[in-house]
Amino acid sequence: MSLGKKLTAEFIGTFWLVFGGCGSALLAAGFPDLGIGFVGVSLAFGLTVLTMAYAIGHISGCHLNPAVSFGLWSAGKFETKELAPYIVAQVIGGIVGASLLYLIATGKAGFEVGGFASNGYGALSPDGYNMTSALIIETVLTFMFLFIILGSTSEKAPAGFAPIAIGLGLTLIHLISIPVTNTSVNPARSTAAAIFADTAALSQLWLFWVAPIVGAIIAGVVWRMLSTDD
């Protein structure tokens, strides 16, 4: 598969993740009487990855996330030369998704941008968790996310079920951490939302790049050790 096709797939997939996941938070989470709440938002993020894994997994591997690309790279399953192009495609796809959400959301009278589904700690944490809590949970949960991805896509895993495991894994991650950071585990998703947030989200964006990437790289190294035949 050509690099151009892979990057196009990553652009579309990350667009869908941000548009579907953040869109559920912005447009449906608090809808009067019928709001889906944070459980629904968690499921929405999981469904975006599940659906795209089946749709584009055979084209690009369906990373949709710079941390996933770094994790697969550290596990020896992704080429260094494709790392930067993938990340650029993911970030642009996420920004386009957030841009369209902004146009839609601001079309409602009285809409306030606020946090715009962005991630944060301290005053920007949904339940007031500090920077240390955010660093720990984002690192640990991204580690586990990559561990799920690497395990479910292994040649020894049951064929055809990886997207389900990965999608449900991301759902569980959101159920755990929405109160802490509004859940990132994805620098592209965090960047896209922070750009439009009417808060200090951009000043905290560094954490949502560093923690997920560190957690993912560690997961790749650990998985590589565990999967090596002695």
210: number of Cβ within 10 Å: 14
pTM of the full predicted structure?
A: 0.94
Q: What is the pLDDT of residues 137-155, one digit of tens each?
A: 999 999 999 999 999 999 8
Q: Which amino acid is at 111?
A: F
- Which CATH number does the domain housing residue 222 bear? 1.20.1080.10
pLDDT at position 155: 85
- DSSP for residue 2: -
What digits encode the pLDDT tens for the residues 174-204? 999 999 999 999 999 999 999 999 999 999 9
The amino acid that residue 199 corresponds to is T
Residue 115 belongs to what domain range?
Answer: 3-226
Mind listing the pLDDT tens digit for each residue in 14-70? 999 999 999 999 998 877 666 788 899 999 999 999 999 999 999 999 999 999 999
- Each residue of 81-90: pLDDT tens digit? 999 999 999 9
Count of structural domains within the chain: 1
